[in-house]
Structure 1
Amino acid sequence: MFPSLWSFGRSLVRMLLTTIVTDLPMDFDTDPQLQAAYDFVVVGGGTSGSVVASRLAEVPSWRVLLLESGGSATPETAVPAFSLLAMDGDNKWDYRVAPQAHAQYNFKGHSSPYPLGKGMGGSSSINLMTHVRGNKRDYDNWAHLGNLGWDYHSVLPYFRKSEDFHGKVTNDNSEFHGFGGPLSVEAQSWSTPVQDALLDGGRELGYPVIDPNGYSQIGFSALDLTTHRGIRSSASESYLRPNIYRKNLDICTHAHVTKITFDDYNRAVGVRFLRKGEKEQEVFVSREVILSAGAVNTPQILLLSGIGGRHQLHKLGIFVNADVPGVGANLQDHPTVYGLTWKIKRGMGQNLINMVDPSVFADYRLHKRGVLTSPFGLEGKAWTSLGYTVDPAWPDLEFTVFSAHPALDNGFRIADMMGFERKFFGRYFSPLFGREGFTIAPMLTRPKSRGSVTLSSSDPTEPPIIDPNFLSSSEDVDSLIDGIKFSLLLGNTSSFRDALEAEFHDQALPGCEDLPYGGDAYWGCYVRHMTASSYHPAGTCKMAVAHDPMGVVSNRLKVRGVSSIRVADASVMPVLPSGGLHAACIMIGEKAADIIKEDWGVIF
């Protein structure tokens, strides 16, 4: 019953939006008469792929084809407040993580949904729109690992090039931001009193209010969002929409890539795909294939094309074009602890009634202001360094604060979206039904655990096996225990207690009742039961020096063992950045396009 009601509600919202909000993005007209051959074929119309395709099409003599497995983004994805609908809608892959041995004990089957973007804009069309690049030291570390040209000094110009910044500009942060770029970045214009309590609580603990994309990332921050006048600014809307007039750029949606084909010299010469689920067809490529299908689908396509570990490919009967064992390995994701919730005074947090108030829709339609301009419940973030690195300016934990909690809908849908086991959810969260509250979610920025993406079948329509291997390193558990302790310290500051009448939901967690409440053993148990994904997969086609046996691409993003293929997406990240992946993926797309132009002798 719940899924059908939820689907009906999503359809109703979609109808309301298309009826009363007339300036939402329209569908892409993406059914071209394909040419037999292109100079470049970009696979994936997501965050990085939108950037790469639009930038390559700036060269008039190049013919560029973009292939995207999904369709156009649906109307609700454009409205920031409907981020929950977007993540549970039509613009995602219906993936789940493999059952976890070390984590997610209170999740159904020790697994959970993995909603990665499918369709124009990819995950930039369904994410929470926060714009956090990561830390200077993240990129300097990429270079330290041997990836020349990927240090912070080298990538900052691409962050700036991409950005049209409309946030708060100060003497301290102006040199770090760009103006006039394709991607609109705005300061969050609507929040609840929880945001004020967060910033005041940070000050109470001795932390400054910061711009996390500026000089320092240690501190507390309100949000900069990838929105434009209250509408989501996805990668496809920012980069591709302004370039669809170009006659040398074809965009083909509902085109599911099945493999890359090679000549006798292991040079990529074509891309095969299923168009609208019908008979497989192929286009040829005269220069390069650029894979930008994301950290799950990019390694899947490489493996299906015979590029990967010899033993895995032989097992599935796939011809080996190049023995590259690193393909699909090194999967990283930011583990986040869910469920740390405080009850607060009514009217202080977010509630679902606001979302259906006719005056809210009217305010949004006429002025693009109010609650609909902000991701539902999202209030701000904080970054701390609790001693896991020798550099105190390099955060090891990020904290996201929501003016909502998992039981806000009384168990109607959020529990299933997150993947919680229903019996557990009722026992632990039912006391919060009908109550407003806020949640602090500690996230580990540089986890030690590593997972993998592997093929479940040689059938390209079958989903791959996604195993983040969360908390396989005990150091990750220890770090998240400290993250919980800091969350409790923050949530119990006078800023939260006095202004919001905050009271921590201190019920013993099912599965951990036999341990002394509040001790390290209890919180370690809590971490094992309540930690899951931040939906930030990366690293599965690791950028590395030639002598690294698990490397997949060079610092020029060229795939080992073959020619005329590059990868440009989150899968090339050797190590996760200290923040979300969206801004970093935009940067990778910008830099990749310039690398390709440079290698083909184009002056820019």
Structure 2
Amino acid sequence: MTLLSRALRVIPVALLRLLVATLVREANYDHDYRYQVASQYDFIIVGGGTAGSVMAERLAEVEGWRVLLLEAGGEQPPESYVPAFNTFLFQSDADWNFYTTPQTHSLRFFKNNAIPYPRGRTIGGSSSINSMIYVRGNRRDFDNWEALGNPGWNYDSVLKYFKKSEDYRGVYTTKTAKYHGKGGPLTVENKRWSTPVAKAFVKAGQQLGYPVVDPNGPEQIGFSMIDVTLRNGRRWSAADAYLRPASQARPNLHVVLNAHVTHILFDEKNAVGVRFEKEGKERSVLANREVVLSAGAVGSPHLLLLSGVGPAAHLYQHNIPVVEDVPGVGQNLQDHPVVGGLVWTVPRGSSFNTTLLANPKNVYNFIHNAEGPLTSPVGTEGNAWVPSAEGDPNWPELQLAMVSGTPAQDFGLLSVQVLGYKKEEYYDHFQDILGQEGFILAPLLTRALSRGDITLASSNPHHQPLINPNFLSHPDDVSALVRGIKLALKVGEAPALRVEHSAKYHSKPLRGCEHETAYTDAYWECFIRHLASSSYHTAGTCKMGPASDPLAVVDHRLRLRGVSGLRVVDASVMPLVVSGNTNAATIMIAEKAADLLKEDWGIPITSL
């Protein structure tokens, strides 16, 4: 990162942080037990992110249990509470600042054929830095989890946990009411402010014959505006929903921030505690009952590998003593590859413009009325799912995201760094539309067939793991995304966008694909291999599955295979990533996991 680009990242964030701290006063939570850590607890939870926040609250409900939660990051940054500042949280001190490895089959438009890979390093984890989109997935995702050998994970069984977690404050109909929960910790709202083109996107879907749907209702096929995890127009992370109330009300829960867990401690094949670093000092703490690993789909496999649980040959390479040979640890990495380069320009006032965020009227409206553009995350405003071309038509292979804004609008000042573009490629392709308002229609592959992995760069816990999504290594993924591009172009041509908002597709041929005839399947394949990137929906790296599955890491009760006293609870256990954003499903997994753990320790479960 150059000195100028670093300044362009740091200075705006510092100013935003000062503004928010001055004008938007959030509750001050002093729940860091750094000076009171006991030598042992009943349960130790590693990671205070989405799943860890849920687990901490639910386990601490049992008064006789002492629970310790260790989070590598610090407090949620003040600017995270302003939904429109979400893009400033990537590559900040609240982010692990991971990068992928250089990719062979994709990312040709990106520097070193690699991209930044944001993961939350703060209380609340990625729920504190994400775009706050609440999408559960398709009911067939969960029915398939059970069909893969995981009893109790079908849709009818997990729906109650989605509802248990949710305090839905949006609009629903008599048809969709029974799919939503009221009074749960996680507040979910309809988007409070939308651009004109976002509303036109939904209208375009209707013009093409698709229904307007509740994205978390009985079926997924159709167009919709997004629901968001906000409360009164401000971000409502998993830490806000679960952890902070629990840490104030439950003296049996201790939370320690800036505590980097470096190893899980084993006695033979029994997990007995963890070793962590804080303020330059290393210490160990023991778990009388279980260690719960909720470090995320990157962090959980990384910590298991560092601790001697994983593919034996890989551990031997790094001189790590093998506790248990579990071949699936770090394997089965899944994500949602998304094509973010399909750009339309529109007249000023139709889409998002950064000047909206500095308008004093909008700032006042946010602070005093919880209204206006500052209440809305910058990025995706609407989603669509259409019938699959192959297989069950109601289990969509594609999600189409409507993004209000383009990489060209900021002249590359921040977008090049945040997204990881090659500067020369960026300016060549977008130079004609720099600074213009516009939108993106981004096809996202919901069930990619490509599989990547998380492996060790070294045995040093401070070295980042090697994150290889292996994007587009399976040719069928490219074919599906070609279908997605054709859908996006069709939506962009609908009268609601083309006529009513004068939307114009940025049709400049992509450099590097000139050898293909424009807009043929071969051209779009080339376009995809250059511009398809990540949705940051990492999953699957500690796969849940039966003993007959050679890559299964945990069983259907999320207990680690081959050892005792250790469970994994986060998005890494998904055998197949859900057909949508992953945060809602991760919360559901943790809600269900808490009940599974309580059952295994003889605690009666209140029926839902």
Q: What stretches of structure 1 of length at least 5 have no aligned partner?
A: none
- Name the residue aligned to 1:350: 352
Alignment match, 1:108: 111
Map 1:118-129; keep pairs closer than 5 Å: 118-129=121-132
Aligned twin of 1:15: 18
Determine the structure 2 residue equivalent to 1:98: 101
Residue by residue over 1:110-141, the C-alpha shift from the partner in whole angstroms, topping out at 9 and shown as x without a partner, is: 00000111110000001111100000000000
**Superposed displacement of residue 25, structure 1:** 6.2
Q: In structure 1, how many angstroms separate the alpha carbons of the residues matched to 2:417 and 2:284?
A: 39
Give me the whole-angstrom Cα distance separating, in 2, the residues matched to 1:478 and 1:196. Answer: 29
CA-to-aligned-CA distance 1:191-234 (integer Å, 9 cap, x gap): 01112211110001110000011011000001110000011010
Counting only pairs closer than 5 Å after superposition, residues 277-288 of structure 1 correspond to structure 2 as: 278-288=280-290
Partner of 2:80: 77
- Quickly say closer, same or farther: Cα 1:286–1:29, change in 2 above 3 A: closer
Q: TM-score, normalised by structure 1?
A: 0.98
8 Å contact kept, 1:24–1:78: no
Contact 1:27/1:72, CA 8 A, preserved across alignment: no
Q: Is the 8 A contact 1:218 1:395 kept in 2?
A: yes
Instruction: State how 1:172-191 maps to structure 2 within 5 Å.
Output: 172-191=175-194
Unaligned ranges ≥5, structure 2: none
Question: How many angstroms apart in 1 are the aligned matches of 2:8 and 2:151?
Answer: 52
SS of equivalent to 1:40: strand
Distance 2:594 2:142 in 1: 18
1:165-564 map, 5 Å: 165-245=168-248, 246-264=250-268, 266-276=269-279, 278-389=280-391, 391-564=392-565
Q: 2: CA distance between counterparts of 1:424 and 1:331? A: 28
- 8 A Cα contact 1:32 1:252, kept in partner: no
> How far is 1:430 from its partner?
1.4
Contact between 1:25 and 1:78, CA under 8 Å: does it hold in 2?
A: no
Contact persistence 1:183–1:238 (CA under 8 A)? yes
Residue 395 of structure 1: CA displacement?
0.9
Please give the secondary structure, in 2, of the residue aligned with 1:147. coil
In 2, Cα distance between the equivalents of 1:30 and 1:590? 24
**Residues 324 and 552 of structure 1 are in contact (CA less than 8 Å); yes or no, is this contact kept in structure 2?**
yes
For residue 2 of structure 1, report the CA deviation from its aligned partner: 2.6
Q: Retained in 2: the 8 A contact 1:24–1:231?
A: no
Q: 2:577 maps to which residue?
A: 576
Query: Share of identical aligned residues, percent?
Result: 49
Cross-structure match for 1:36: 39
The letter for the 2-side match of 1:574 is: P
Contact 2:131/2:379 (<8 A) preserved: no
Task: Tell me, yes or no, if the aligned pair for 1:407 and 1:415 is still in contact at 8 Å.
Answer: no
Shift of residue 345, structure 1, vs aligned partner: 1.2
Residue among 66, 69, 76 paired with 2:69: 66
User: What is the Cα deviation at residue 24 of structure 1?
Assistant: 6.0
CA distance in structure 2 between the aligned counterparts of 1:209 and 1:373, rounded to whole angstroms: 23
Shift of 1:144: 0.2
Mean Cα displacement is larger for which, 28-37 or 317-326? 28-37
**Contact 1:86 1:126 (C-alpha < 8 Å) held by counterparts:** yes
Query: Whole-Å Cα distance in 2 between the matches of residues 29 and 316 of structure 1?
Result: 35
CA distance in 2, matches of 1:555, 1:567: 11
How far residue 499 of structure 1 moved from its aligned partner, in angstroms, is 1.5
TM-score (norm. length: structure 2): 0.98
1:403-455 C-alpha deviation (Å, 9 max, x unpaired): 10011111101111111100000000111112110111110000000000001
**Is 2:59–2:65's contact at 8 Å kept on the other side of the alignment?**
yes
Describe the shift of the 1:146–1:370 C-alpha distance in structure 2 as closer, same or farther (beyond 3 A). same
Matched to 2:262, the amino acid is T
Runs of 4+ in 1 over 6 A off after TM superposition: none
8 Å Cα contact 2:351/2:438 also seen in 1: yes
In structure 2, C-alpha distance between the alignment counterparts of 1:130 and 1:287, rounded to whole Å: 35
Aligned counterparts, 1:585-600, within 5 A: 585-600=586-601
Query: Is contact 2:32-2:257 (8 Å) kept?
Result: no
Q: Deviation of residue 32 (structure 1)? A: 4.1
Deviations 1:270-325, CA, capped at 9 Å, x for gaps: 1001113x122100110000000001110011111111111001111111110001
1:27, 1:73 within 8 Å by CA — same for their partners in 2?
Answer: no
Indicate whether 1:146 and 2:142 are aligned: no
243-252 or 442-451, larger mean C-alpha shift:
243-252
CA contact 2:344–2:504 (8 Å) conserved in 1: yes
Per-residue deviation, 1:6: 2.6
> Is 1:220–1:381's contact at 8 Å kept on the other side of the alignment?
yes
How many Å apart are 1:388 and its aligned residue? 2.5
In 2, the alpha carbon distance for the partners of 1:164 and 1:9 equals 34
The alpha-carbon distance between structure 1 residues 567 and 226, as it changes in their structure 2 partners (threshold 3 A), is same
Q: Report the RMSD for the aligned CA atoms in angstroms.
A: 1.0
Quote the offset at 1:505 in angstroms: 0.1
Contact 1:195 1:379 (C-alpha < 8 Å) held by counterparts:
yes
Partner deviation per Cα, 1:246-279 (whole Å, 9 max, x = no partner)? 1100000111111111113x11111001113x12
SS in 2 for 1:116: coil
Judged with a 3 Å threshold, the aligned counterparts in structure 2 of structure 1 residues 26 and 248 are, in CA distance, closer, same or farther, namely closer
Whether contact under 8 Å (1:57, 1:63) holds in the other structure is yes
Query: Which amino acid in the other structure matches residue 198 of structure 1?
Result: F
1:374-398: per-residue Cα shift (whole Å, max 9, x none)? 0014321101123132x11111100
Distance 1:155 1:207 in 2: 28
